[in-house]
Structures are given as C-alpha cells and as structure tokens.
Chain A
Amino acid sequence: MTARLTRFDWYAYLRALRFSLYTMRRPLDGFWDLIHEKRGSMAAAHTILAIAVIVQIMRLVLTNFQFININMEVFSAWWVLGQMVIPIVLFSVANWCLTTLFDGKGKISHIYMGYAYAMVPQIIINAVLVPVSHVITYSEGMIHQMTTHIGTLWFVLLLLCAMKEIHEYSFSKAILTTILSLFAIGVMVFIFIMFFAVVSDGAAYFYSIAQEAVFRIRRG
C-alpha cells in the first residue's frame, strides 16, 4: 500500500477559497457547484472556520466597548473556539444523521463545507464592523446592531440554500431538516451532559468506596 504523497495544490486551494465569495452572492448556483463540480475543498472550509474563530475573538476583544463590553478578567479565547467549532461539528453530525433518513444526498464533509462557506458573509461583516465601531458613537449604535443582524440573517439564508443544494431538497424540506437538526443538537448535548454527569458521579462513588476501604484498613 502506497501513501499518495502529492504536493499540496496551493492554486486549487486558493481557488476553492475564492469560490466562497461566489457562493455568498449566488448561493443556489454556488452551493450546487461547491459539491457537484468540486469547486470547494475541505482545506478551504477549515481555513474559513479558523478565520471565523479569529474574527470572532477579534470582534469580542477589539470592538469598541460601547457596543460589546466583555469583562477581560473572565474572557477566554478557548471558550470562543468552542463556541465556534462545537456548533459546526454538532450540526454536521446531527444534520447528516437526519438527512440520511430523509433521502439527503450530502455527506458529512459536504455539510461541513456548506456550513463553513455559509459563514463567509458574516465573517466579512463582523470584521468590517470592528474598525467601524471605533468611529461611531453609542447613539449611532443602531447601525452596528442592524449590520450585525444582517450578517446573521445572511448566514441563515446561505445555510438553508446550502442544505437545499447539498441534499437536493426542496426549499421547505431544507428548512424542516435544518430545524430538526437543531433539535437533534439539543438531544446530543443533553445526552453528553447526562453521560458526563453519570460517569463523574459513578467515579466519585467508587472513589469514596475505595477511600473508605483505605481508611478502614489503615485503622486496622
């Protein structure tokens, strides 16, 4: 068995990255080509996610305090990383689990790519808003707020388009499966939390039994 050692194709990578600007403007066409014409790549999707994390951290830290004010004593970049990465991973898994039951054509990697590409306009808007926040005043905060909302709305619409094209669904079915995958994410989180709670309780139980035994033995 020979490992395929090909040189990393920087040109294709950059082309895939640049394609995100196309999906942003022509989502229906773009997300179809992203998967079926192999115009996107996982490497580009990872990059977009990394940029999203960096932009989010910058947004929280560098935005003028008039609009976003975070107590730096309790701020943690790892927390932001989790906030960005966990949703995309959970969404990919939950959506894939659901859509395989609903005749979805997409693979996990496709969903991951679709989600990542859908984030692009929001990333751009948030990045632009950081310097803008330093030249507008609190009373002009409406601009900041509205633009943020536009970014979020754009992201949601792109995500729906991506789901529609990746799974070859009708638009209503894409909305339905997306909402259902949100519920699935909730269930997964719940099970995770319960699992860890049970495990830690169980561990504590056996630990205390062991301790009790040690004390008894020591006392003789």
Chain B
Amino acid sequence: MKFILLTILAVALFSAPVTVYASGSGSSHYTYTYNEWSVPIPSPDAYRVTAFILGEHLGIGHFNNPRDLQVWGNLLYVADTNNNRIVVIEFHADGTFELVDVITHVYINGEPSPFNRPHGMFVSPWMLNYGQKWIADTENNRILHTDENWNVLTVIDRSKLELSALEDDRHFLPQKLAVDFSGRLFAQVAMVNRGLMEFDNDGYFAGYMGAPDVTINPWQRFWRSIQTREQRERGWLFVPVDYNNVTIDNEGFLFVTSSGPDVEPVRRLNAMGADVMIRNGWEDPQGDLWWGSAGHISGQSVLIDVTSLPNNTFVVFDRTRGRLFAYDNQGELLYAWGSYGHHEGAFMLPTALESMGFTLFALDATTGAITRFDLTEYGRYINEALTMYQRGLYEESYDTWQEVLRMNGNFNMAYIGVARALLRRGYYRDAMELFRMQNDNANYGRAFGFYRRQWMEEYFWMFAVALGVLIIVPPVVRKVIKVRREILES
C-alpha cells in the first residue's frame, strides 16, 4: 500500500512538470546545418517551440484542415478551411495570446455571404490599402476584397476573368494570395500552371506572371524518347509545375514556392515576374541536400511555404519531412530543424508558415495545430549579426559572430562573418585563413587581392633594387674588367 502511494506520488510529481514544461526541450527537434563540404552537422537550436496552439485552447473547437496563416501587426489570421471560417488570434508582447474574432461570413450589399472552404487570405500592410483584406474563398470560386471591417469592396470571380484565362471546364479555385503596395493582387490558383494570376486594382484579370520555366537536359530528352508511354506517364512530368504558395516580403518582392524535380523550389520574383533570388551559396536553397528513405519517407524536400524575416533572411517549410530551413539573403543555409511526427515541434502535414518579426508560426493541417517558434539566444545572435551585415555594419558584427562561434564552433557562416569583419579592418592574412577554412574562394580571392597589393607595396623596393642592380652592375663590371685589362696590357 505504501509502495502504491509512493508510486502515485512520484508519478504526480514527475509527470506534472513535464506536461506543463514540455516546450523548450532541445532534444525533440533536432537542428542541423551543412558544413563547408555540404555535409550535415548538428547545430544548437536556433528556434524553440514556445507555444502549441490548438483550436480548443481558444475555446472554438478543433481546427479542421487549416490551410493558411497570415500575420498582420500582432494579429494572426488562420484560414480554418474545412470549418469555413477565419480565426483571428492576437499575440501580446509577453507571449500570451487570445482569441479576437471568428469570421464565418462577409456582407455583400448587406446580405450575409458565408465562406466555403477558404484556403488563404492576405491582409495588407501597405500604406495604400492598410488593413484591407483579401480572402481566397476557394469553393465559392471567388476572391473577396474587403475593407478593415470585413465589408466587401470587390468580388473577383469568373466574370472578372478573360475567357481565355482559364480552360472552360476548370473551376476558378484561388488558394493563396499576395498584394503588393500598388494594390496589384497575385493569386496562386489550383490547377493553373502558367504562373500566378495577376489582378489589377479593380479586380480585373491582368495576366499571368512568373511562370516557372522548366529545364530539360539532352540526356533526359534522349531517355524519354526511348521510354514507353507507360514509363513516361509514371516518370517525371516535364510540364511547368504550378506554384503552391505565394508570399510578399517587406521590400515588395514575391516569394513563391513550387514542387517539382526540375524547377527552383523557391523563388523571389520582381514586378516583372523574373527570379531575382541571390543564390551565392555552394548549394541553391532547396531544403535537404541528402536524404534517405527511412520510415517510408523518401524523396527530396517539397517546399510548400516561405516566409521572409525582417533582415531579409527567409525560412521555407518542407512538407516531406516537416522541416524548416532558414537561409540568409545570399542563399546560404543558416539552420534546419523540425521533423515528421506527432510530438511537439514536429509536423504531419505542413501547410503554412508565417513570421511575426522573428517569431515563426507553422501550421499543420492534420493535427490542426499552430506551432509557435521563438529564437533562442543562439538564433538571436545569428540574426543580430545578419541584421548588422545587412545594414553595412561589417566591423561591428565581429563581436556578435564571435559570440555565435563560442556557442557553435561548426557554424561556417559565423567564420565567414568574422572573416568579413577582419577583411574590413585590414587583417587580410587572418581573413584569408578563415575564408580558406570555409572554402569561400570568392571572398578569399578578394582578401588575397588586398594582401597581394599590401605585400607589393611593402616589398616593392626589393624589386626596384634588384632591377636597378641588374641594370647598373653589368656595365660597371664590364667597365672594370676593361680598365683592368688595359692597365695590365699597358
């Protein structure tokens, strides 16, 4: 009896703190990065789970197949798709949150008009249309443009499209939206592979933009030519792949993701639809570089959402393994974390990723959960250093990168950051050594160029003297010999 009592007590004692304080344990979501030879190596956690939000926590029942998140100020909009509603959650500075609103319908000319499976939405952060909302009301085949108070301004449906815009038998199924500062609306529409649909200020279709171009190399062409029809159908399809998400960053560039073997999985588009993403890393941003097929999960990363952070870094969300990959503005991987599964910090069916400052919100459609990630001390130092670099404060970022290195001596970006600071301060040799360590040949070349010039300036006199000696000495010697001979002969 005493033993049982003790057991109960022990269970109560030890289980209670665990359930309450499950977040913040670093072991549940393994963070890693790639080293200078593109080999994955472990890294300290840069992000940690700080909240795990279910519909029940808000007292509005379970989220059912939620598809999109949207951040506006400190509000988080959740497109709770199969519940036909949009949920608005407010986050306070101290980390607490509360339910603000649940929207199930809008008013069109005073008539209530309910949503039908809304897949996405956008709330404008721009001056021109501050706080206005766009809702991809997918199964109603329309995009609703409302003012701040959900009063409909425009309904964009098939009547706003040109006849040629969609094939006749296709429904207009808008899913993800983004609006730029001039009020142009970009919609990712299901089963459209000609790019994003662009709508003007009045909601009229203006054309497609940024169609993903597919490259096919001669070997693939040859291989396809000798395949049977069945093999071809089972193999890769070389049709343009449709985008699966669109986001706009704070500089007004569109970030799009797409899945497919022969397209760039994440792109940054300018107003003309051209890809302007900087890819200076050894590997382009693409999620995992190496993968196995453990646990029936195989194949490359499928990026389904991207979000841009204030210092122009961005994070992509991988549906294959439920991982998040953070890249800096040069396209270098900073850290990757997350996993597939049911535990905290893991995902079953990732659908959306949003950022509020540096805080990340990741949405899982299967579990209907929003996972909130916040920077750890390690992540804060990295982002602080990157922000400094972004602002041109190269030398000032030195101490911050040193701090990062103190926590993770395997982080190649930190060595490069330190080396850049050293380069700016004129310590070319030290910078060269660090760049050499990180296989950064372009930057090494720059440092070496400076060093070479310095070296030449320092030792130029030696060359000058040598040259002078070569010019002056032979005639003198010749003269001396000649004079000596004359003396001897005379």
**A interface residue numbers (CB < 8 A to B):** 65-67, 69, 71, 73, 135, 137-141
Q: Contacts of A71 on B, CB cut-off 8 Å? A: 37
Q: Are A66 and B452 touching (Cβ within 8 A)?
A: no
**Minimum CB distance partner of B444 in chain A:** A66
Q: How far does the alpha carbon of A138 sit from the alpha carbon of B452 in the complex, in Å?
A: 13
Q: How far does the alpha carbon of A67 sit from the alpha carbon of B442 in the complex, in Å?
A: 10
B448 lies within 8 A of chain A by Cβ: yes
Specify which of B37, B441, B449 is in contact with A65 (CB 8 Å cutoff).
B441
Q: How far does the alpha carbon of A71 sit from the alpha carbon of B448 in the complex, in Å?
A: 21
Q: How far does the alpha carbon of A104 sit from the alpha carbon of B452 in the complex, in Å?
A: 54
**Minimum CB distance partner of B449 in chain A:** A137
Q: How far does the alpha carbon of A135 sit from the alpha carbon of B441 in the complex, in Å?
A: 14
Specify which of A65, A139, A140, A141 is in contact with B439 (CB 8 Å cutoff).
A65
Q: Contacts of B441 on A, CB cut-off 8 Å? A: 65-67, 69, 138
**Minimum CB distance partner of A140 in chain B:** B445
Q: How far does the alpha carbon of A69 sit from the alpha carbon of B444 in the complex, in Å?
A: 13
Q: Are B442 and A138 touching (Cβ within 8 A)?
A: yes
Q: Are B445 and A65 touching (Cβ within 8 A)?
A: no
Q: Are A135 and B452 touching (Cβ within 8 A)?
A: yes
Q: Contacts of A69 on B, CB cut-off 8 Å? A: 439, 441
Q: How far does the alpha carbon of A143 sit from the alpha carbon of B246 in the complex, in Å?
A: 43
Q: Are B445 and A139 touching (Cβ within 8 A)?
A: yes
How many residue pairs, one in A and one in B, have C-beta atoms under 8 Å apart?
31
Q: Contacts of A139 on B, CB cut-off 8 Å? A: 442, 445-446, 449
Q: Contacts of B444 on A, CB cut-off 8 Å? A: 65-66, 138
**Minimum CB distance partner of B443 in chain A:** A138
B436 lies within 8 A of chain A by Cβ: yes
Q: Which of A67, A137, A140, A141 has the most CB of B within 10 A?
A: A137
Q: Which 9 A-B pairs have the closest CB atoms?
A: A138-B445, A137-B445, A66-B441, A137-B449, A137-B448, A138-B441, A138-B442, A71-B37, A66-B445
Q: Contacts of B452 on A, CB cut-off 8 Å? A: 135, 137
CB distance from A166 to the nearest CB of B (A): 34
CB distance from B434 to the nearest CB of A (A): 13
With A65-B439, A65-B441: A137-B446 Cβ-Cβ less than 8 Å:
yes
Q: Contacts of B442 on A, CB cut-off 8 Å? A: 138-139
Q: How far does the alpha carbon of A83 sit from the alpha carbon of B452 in the complex, in Å?
A: 35
Q: How far does the alpha carbon of A69 sit from the alpha carbon of B37 in the complex, in Å?
A: 10
Q: Contacts of B445 on A, CB cut-off 8 Å? A: 66, 137-141
**Minimum CB distance partner of B455 in chain A:** A135
Q: Are A65 and B436 touching (Cβ within 8 A)?
A: yes
Q: How far does the alpha carbon of A91 sit from the alpha carbon of B444 in the complex, in Å?
A: 40
B residues 405-456 in Cβ contact with A at 8 Å: 436, 439, 441-442, 444-446, 448-449, 452
Q: How far does the alpha carbon of A71 sit from the alpha carbon of B452 in the complex, in Å?
A: 26
Q: How far does the alpha carbon of A69 sit from the alpha carbon of B437 in the complex, in Å?
A: 11
26 contacts across the A-B interface (CB closer than 8 A) = A65-B439, A65-B441, A65-B444, A66-B441, A66-B444, A66-B448, A69-B439, A69-B441, A71-B37, A73-B37, A135-B452, A137-B445, A137-B448, A137-B449, A138-B441, A138-B442, A138-B444, A138-B445, A138-B446, A138-B448, A139-B442, A139-B445, A139-B446, A139-B449, A140-B445, A141-B445
Q: How far does the alpha carbon of A67 sit from the alpha carbon of B445 in the complex, in Å?
A: 10
Q: Contacts of A137 on B, CB cut-off 8 Å? A: 445-446, 448-449, 452
Q: Which of B37, B441, B442, B449 has the most CB of A within 10 A?
A: B441
CB distance from B326 to the nearest CB of A (A): 25
Q: Contacts of A67 on B, CB cut-off 8 Å? A: 441
Q: How far does the alpha carbon of A104 sit from the alpha carbon of B60 in the complex, in Å?
A: 89
